[in-house]
Every structure is written in structure tokens, then in C-alpha cells.
A and B are shown apart, each in its own frame.
Chain A
Amino acid sequence: MKSLIKRLVEIPGPSGFEEQIRASVQREIKDHADEIKVDALGNLIARKGKKKDGGLRIMLSAHIDEIGLMVTHVDDNGFARFIGIGGINPLTCYGGRVLFMNGTRGVIGVEKLESAKAPKLAQLFIDVGASNPDDCPVGVGDVCGFERPFLELGDRLVAKSMDDRIAAVIAIEAMRAITDTPHELYFVFSVQEEVGIRGAITVAYGVDPDLGLAIDVTRSGDTPKCTKMETALGKGPAVKVRDSSFIADPRVVNWMVETAKQAGIPYQLEVLEAGGTDGRAIQLTRAGVPTGCLSIPCRYIHSPSEMVDKHDVQNSVKLLIALLSQPVKLG
């Protein structure tokens, strides 16, 4: 699994520019799906199984996009101004390295600051080593992601895009492992989550599932002076109860908790004060879908060094396999 993680987390794929990561995921799953398609917005949809007696159409959604930057202007000296794609914290930008979709690399610099406070995005710029607009290999509209190598720190795994590539890894591992299921499973690798859960809105409409499950990272409350939160790294996958955009269907929460207990998989319950996942889009599609979310606790979300725990990842795969291998009775 570690090599799969490394393969997926280092690929740039800001929202709307998921072609490279989509192609990589497609390579990883092509021998394990019964049918694969890419929809109009670029969501990758892999079906496994056909609905049997007692089975459901179940949609799993892990988003393959990540936060990134888009160039807005190249000045007379070849410096590129930019805006964020998704929630970019300027605090994490200065000195960072970026990789453009066209292969260009750059570093992020900052204007003279009035104080030691965090800069605004408008005070930052990307230096690609150019000295005028003509030798600048990027222009208005070019897109980059942060560039950081995958890192292992004991049981902890660090990457620029654990949000949400680690969920893609979990979905792929579960997909490979599941051999017998009564369900028609739709493993969705969705696009444009970071800019407003847009891909999931359309793919949920297209798949029209009976049951939905988002897989995404969530915050952890186990670092110095952080916002209080129950979830912590290493205590197991988190079963989302609610976040600010979504109340998980209590029957789905119960199903996830009972399955974890029966399989002896550690779990924790998650209440996230601010944030949202593909779960919201699935729940509200068409006439409504019972939906939950399997979360992986993660530190330093939306920084170039997002950290998860190896055991949480492994247990998430186990829980997902347990959930999807048996008939589901919501009640």
C-alpha cells in the first residue's frame, strides 16, 4: 500500500485539472472494475459487481483534486501573481515550491511586509526563474500544485495531498480486496471537491445510488493548542456524525459503528465544526440518498505537509471491506 500512496500523492491535480491523477488512478483500478467511465466533468466512475438479492447500488466517493494555485498576471519582470484554487492559507505558501501542469517549477516569494503578520495572497508571487514575460513559461490561467515528496515518520505518513488522495488509496485497496459482494458498487474518484463539492453533485445525479458514502480526511484534535476536537491520529477511522454542511444519516452511522464493532476494528466518532465533503452532494441528489462519511483523521490539512496515521489507513480499508461485503440493513 505504501508504494500506491507514494504513487498517488505526488501527482499534481488541482481542482479542474485532474487529468494526470485520473489517469494514474485509472491505471491502478483497471483490472479490478467491471466497468469504468469518465463523466462530463471528469469524474472517474468504476463499477464493481451487479446488484443481487439484498444488494444495493452503493456510491463511494473519494475526491482526487487538491488545492492549488492559478496564475492571474505575469508582471514586467516575469513574476507570476496568483489566486488560490480551493482553501489556500497564505501562511503555508511563502517559500513553498510549486509544480505546474506543464512541468514548470517555481518558488513562492513575498512582497515587503509591514509587520510579522501572515501575508495576504495578493502579496505573494511565484518566481519561476524568468526575468520578463516573454521568457516566463507560464501565463494567465496556468495552474500549479504544491510540490513536496512523500514522507514517512514512523507510523505517520506525510504528503501535500493526503486530502484526499489517501481516501483514493483506501478506495482502491478495498476495491482490489473485495471479491464477493451482493452490491453494485460505484467507486467514484470525484473532481472539484475543493472548490465546492462540484464533481460529486453531478456524479451523484448520474449514478443515482441507493446508499452513499464519502471518504475524506477530517481534522484531528491532538496537536498543541489546537481547536478542541475528539478525533486523534492512531485511534482508528472516524465515523462522521456531522459537519457544517451535512448531518450523516443516523442509520448509516449506526451501520458503520456496528460493523466496526463486529469486525473488531477501532473507530472514533467525528463531529466537525466547519467543513464539508462529497457526502453532502450525494445526500441531496435527486429525491435524497441515505449517506454517511468515513473519515481519516489528518493533521495540518491544506498545508503542504498533511499527516495521517498508517494504522488508521489500514483500518479504514478493513472497515470499508467489511461494510461492502455484506448485505446492508439500515434501521
Chain B
Amino acid sequence: MTKNTKISTSKVPQVGKSQIELLEKLCNAVAVSGDEQEVRQIVLEEVKSVADEVKVDALGNVLVTRFGRGEKRPRVMLAAHMDEIGFMLVKDNEGGLFEFVTIGGIDERQLVAKSVLVGREHLPGVIGAKPIHLTKKEERKNTLKIDQMRIDMGLDIGSKVKVGDRASFATRFELIGPSIRAKALDDRLGIVNLIELVKHAPGNIDLLAAFTVQEEVGLRGARVAAYAFDPDMAFALDSTPARDLPVWESDDDNVNYNTRLDQGPAIYLMDSATIADRRLVDLLVKAAEAEGIPYQFRQPNRGGTDAGAIHKSRAGIPSISVSVPQRYIHTAAGLVRHDDWAHTLQLMHAALSRITLDTLKR
């Protein structure tokens, strides 16, 4: 039944040159919710040599299984979402101008003057802004609504771009000293970590990896993935805001930082969608402390991850989320620390390696 002889399974995964290159490829790919094809292809290519089972389900989730060794192994689901926030063209105004809407949670105020990539061919466009020369002082105090904006393709694009096509921010991946700046770090960091965990699956569990679709529009892919896997427990790997700038807001003490960069992986306690299972909180904390891996608790707060859909599946699945802290999440360019990413991967591997049948004992 098992064929875990292809690569060593106990080796701790590391973040090195090849992982950074993979993350770059993942971030620069475009996979706005509902059209995750590009990321799915990368995932399938990466996991095919190590997976015991690979399936693309009806909604487009990639479901990968790696069996462990021995009797009575816990079935552990890990979920990371392949989709990202973005745009969809909704009306052709001719001359290369398109009306568009957002997909997933995007603050409209941040859209003017951003470069975008449109369609599967990544054709360049820009969300045009009225230049300062032509605006009055009063006008510049107002923010623009999305229906006042257009994506300008720069030429009469003919049939190459059409209504219904998706678009993403055009930001390219950059290493900046200890940091990484890119679009779609939410959740390509989760994807790269999940790929590494599949490659380095600990033998004490059956690792059920769900590379999910449509998270940003309501945790839709994870719902059906959890139903299919029917695991004993689940971890969502995601990214969460860090709101840790020195003067983020003018007057108040910053008591709502959510997470902070450089403090390590963010372990969830509660968000709008899930109350984290405390047995899994304990598992993660003990693993971090035993291995000397830094960690932080994400402040109990709003928001939600794939865990919100997974834990309510079938007769209930104890679930938790672990995120890489990220500044400027859900904007054109997020910023994370390399070390927070590496520590998240290490923590997950350490925690998974410690799972036993007693982990969920009450």
C-alpha cells in the first residue's frame, strides 16, 4: 500500500535557493479565484515524483496523499489555497478600455495607477488615473470608486482580451535583504510550504495535502476537499496581516497589531470562521518550544482561513491555522520576512512529526 521509498521522509525541509526560486515562480504566476490553472500546473509538476496519490477534483483542488508507515496512522489534512485576489473584466468600453470588478477582498482606494496583467497570456494593462495636472485640489481629497476606473490595455486589443477574463496586480517578486516583496504571497507561501511538506512528509501520519481553490471568495474549495479527505484533524497554512509599523495610526497605542514581522509563525486562537482546537494549539506550541523555533499567537480577531470550512465538514474535524505574518496583505505588494517563512515551514514539520493517536485525546 505504501511506496514511500522515493525520497527520505524524515529530513527537515529547509528554505534554500530552490525553494526561493519556486516561491518566485508561484508568486509571479496568476491564479485569481476560479481560474487557478497556472498554480495548479506548478503544484502538479512539483508533487508528482513523491505523491502516492494525486487527484484534481471537480472544483479544481489538487488533492495529494502521502501515506506514512506503521499501523493506525492519524490522517492529517493540510490546506493551502492556490487562488489569489484580483479582478475580472465586466464590460468592454472599446479602444482597449475595460470596466472591471474585484474578486476577493480588495480596498478600492488602492487601485488607481496600478499595473496589471490581464488574461492567461498576462497581457499588460494599467488601471488609469487622472493626472495631477487635470485634478483640482478639492478633487484630490476624494477617493475614487471602482466604477470610475478602467483597465487600459493600451491598444484596441481585439479578441485577445474579453469580458470575463481575470487580471492580477503585475508586481514582480523581489528579494530585499531579509525580506521578500511580491504579489500573492497570500497564499503562495502556504503553497510552497505545503509542497515542501509533501516532499518531506513525516512517516508517522498520512499526509493529506489540499491545494485549494476559491478561498478568497468564501473558502469554497476547502469545503469539498475536506469532505473528500475526511481527515482526523486539519491545518490551514495561510498568511495574515502584520500591522506592526512604528506609527501605524496617529493617536492610539497599537493594541491591534494582529501579528508582527520577525516574531515567527502566527498560531491562530480564534478568527471569525474558526475557534482553533486547543489540543492543536498545544501541539504547535510544544513543537516550537522543543525545537527552539520562534512563534507568536495571532491576535484573536476577524478574518478566516480554509479551516473555517474544514472544521465543519462531515461529523467535525479539529482544525487550526498557522500563518506567515505579512505587511500590506491584499494589496499590490506584500512584504514578508524570509525567516518568518522558514520558521513556519520548520514549525509545521516539527508539529506534524509529533502527531500521535493521542494528540486528540481529551
Residues of A at the B interface (CB closer than 8 Å) are: 15-17, 19, 38-43, 70-73, 75, 81, 83, 85, 122, 140-141, 192, 195, 198-199, 201-203, 205-206
B333 at the interface (CB under 8 A from A): no
Q: Collect the chain B residues with CB atoms within 8 Å of residue A122's CB.
A: 256
B127 at the interface (CB under 8 A from A): no
In contact, B315 and A85 (Cβ under 8 angstroms): no
In contact, B300 and A203 (Cβ under 8 angstroms): no
Q: Per-position contact with A for B226-259: 1 when CB-CB < 8 Å, else 0?
A: 0000001000000000000000000001011000
Q: Collect the chain A residues with CB atoms within 8 Å of residue B275's CB.
A: 15-16, 85, 192, 195
Q: Collect the chain B residues with CB atoms within 8 Å of residue A42's CB.
A: 362
Residue of B whose beta carbon sits closest to that of A70: B300
In contact, B300 and A81 (Cβ under 8 angstroms): no
* Interchain CA distance A118-B164 in the complex, whole Å: 46
B255 partner, pick from A40, A43, A81, beta carbons under 8 A: A81
Residue of A whose beta carbon sits closest to that of B255: A73
* Interchain CA distance A117-B312 in the complex, whole Å: 38
* Interchain CA distance A141-B282 in the complex, whole Å: 12
* Interchain CA distance A41-B312 in the complex, whole Å: 9
Q: Collect the chain B residues with CB atoms within 8 Å of residue A195's CB.
A: 275
In contact, B312 and A202 (Cβ under 8 angstroms): yes
In contact, B315 and A70 (Cβ under 8 angstroms): no
A203 partner, pick from B256, B281, B316, B360, beta carbons under 8 A: B316
Q: Considering residues A16, A38, A39, A40, which has the most beta carbons from chain B within 10 angstroms of its beta carbon?
A: A40
Known: A201-B312, A202-B312, A202-B316. 8 other contacts (CB 8 A): A43-B316, A73-B299, A75-B255, A140-B300, A141-B300, A198-B312, A202-B317, A205-B314
* Interchain CA distance A290-B362 in the complex, whole Å: 33
B269 partner, pick from A38, A39, A141, beta carbons under 8 A: A141
Contact flag A39-B299 (CB < 8 Å), given A73-B255, A198-B311: no
Pairs of residues from A and B, 9 with the lowest C-beta to C-beta distance, nearest first = A202-B316, A16-B275, A206-B315, A41-B316, A40-B316, A141-B269, A70-B300, A73-B255, A72-B299
Residue of A whose beta carbon sits closest to that of B362: A38
B208 to chain A, nearest CB (A): 16
Q: How many residues of B contact A (CB 8 A)?
A: 23
* Interchain CA distance A199-B316 in the complex, whole Å: 8
Contact flag A40-B317 (CB < 8 Å), given A72-B300, A140-B299: yes
Q: Per-position contact with A for B279-311: 1 when CB-CB < 8 Å, else 0?
A: 001000000000000000101110000000001
Q: Collect the chain A residues with CB atoms within 8 Å of residue B362's CB.
A: 19, 38, 42
Q: Collect the chain B residues with CB atoms within 8 Å of residue A15's CB.
A: 275
* Interchain CA distance A70-B281 in the complex, whole Å: 15
A15 to chain B, nearest CB (A): 6
Q: Collect the chain A residues with CB atoms within 8 Å of residue B297's CB.
A: 140-141
* Interchain CA distance A316-B300 in the complex, whole Å: 38
Residue of B whose beta carbon sits closest to that of A16: B275
Residues of B at the A interface (CB closer than 8 Å) are: 232, 253, 255-256, 269-270, 275, 278, 281, 297, 299-301, 311-318, 360, 362
Q: Collect the chain B residues with CB atoms within 8 Å of residue A203's CB.
A: 315-316
19 A-B residue pairings within 8 Å (CB atoms): A16-B278, A40-B315, A40-B316, A41-B311, A70-B300, A72-B255, A72-B299, A73-B256, A83-B270, A85-B275, A140-B300, A141-B269, A195-B275, A198-B312, A202-B312, A205-B314, A205-B315, A206-B314, A206-B316
* Interchain CA distance A141-B312 in the complex, whole Å: 21
* Interchain CA distance A19-B362 in the complex, whole Å: 9
B323 to chain A, nearest CB (A): 15
Contact flag A39-B316 (CB < 8 Å), given A73-B255, A81-B255, A141-B269: yes
Residue of B whose beta carbon sits closest to that of A197: B312
* Interchain CA distance A198-B300 in the complex, whole Å: 18
* Interchain CA distance A17-B270 in the complex, whole Å: 12
Residue of A whose beta carbon sits closest to that of B317: A40
* Interchain CA distance A190-B167 in the complex, whole Å: 44
A20 to chain B, nearest CB (A): 12
In contact, A40 and B312 (Cβ under 8 angstroms): no
Contact flag A70-B270 (CB < 8 Å), given A16-B275, A81-B255, A192-B275: yes
Q: Considering residues B232, B269, B270, B316, which has the most beta carbons from chain A within 10 angstroms of its beta carbon?
A: B316
In contact, A40 and B318 (Cβ under 8 angstroms): yes
Q: Collect the chain B residues with CB atoms within 8 Å of residue A141's CB.
A: 269-270, 281, 297, 300
In contact, B255 and A39 (Cβ under 8 angstroms): no
* Interchain CA distance A17-B300 in the complex, whole Å: 15
* Interchain CA distance A39-B360 in the complex, whole Å: 11
Q: Collect the chain B residues with CB atoms within 8 Å of residue A40's CB.
A: 232, 315-318, 360
Residue of B whose beta carbon sits closest to that of A23: B362
Q: Collect the chain B residues with CB atoms within 8 Å of residue A72's CB.
A: 255-256, 299-301
Q: Collect the chain B residues with CB atoms within 8 Å of residue A41's CB.
A: 311, 316, 318
* Interchain CA distance A195-B272 in the complex, whole Å: 8
Q: Considering residues B269, B301, B312, B313, which has the most beta carbons from chain A within 10 angstroms of its beta carbon?
A: B312
* Interchain CA distance A300-B297 in the complex, whole Å: 34
Q: Collect the chain A residues with CB atoms within 8 Å of residue B318's CB.
A: 40-41
Residue of A whose beta carbon sits closest to that of B269: A141
Q: Collect the chain A residues with CB atoms within 8 Å of residue B313's CB.
A: 202
Q: Collect the chain A residues with CB atoms within 8 Å of residue B255's CB.
A: 72-73, 75, 81
B259 to chain A, nearest CB (A): 11
Q: Collect the chain A residues with CB atoms within 8 Å of residue B256's CB.
A: 72-73, 122
* Interchain CA distance A35-B331 in the complex, whole Å: 53
In contact, A16 and B270 (Cβ under 8 angstroms): yes
* Interchain CA distance A73-B298 in the complex, whole Å: 10
In contact, A83 and B300 (Cβ under 8 angstroms): yes
Residue of B whose beta carbon sits closest to that of A192: B275
* Interchain CA distance A175-B318 in the complex, whole Å: 29
Q: Collect the chain A residues with CB atoms within 8 Å of residue B270's CB.
A: 16, 70, 83, 85, 141
A75 partner, pick from B232, B253, B269, B360, beta carbons under 8 A: B253
* Interchain CA distance A330-B360 in the complex, whole Å: 41
* Interchain CA distance A16-B307 in the complex, whole Å: 14
Residue of A whose beta carbon sits closest to that of B298: A140
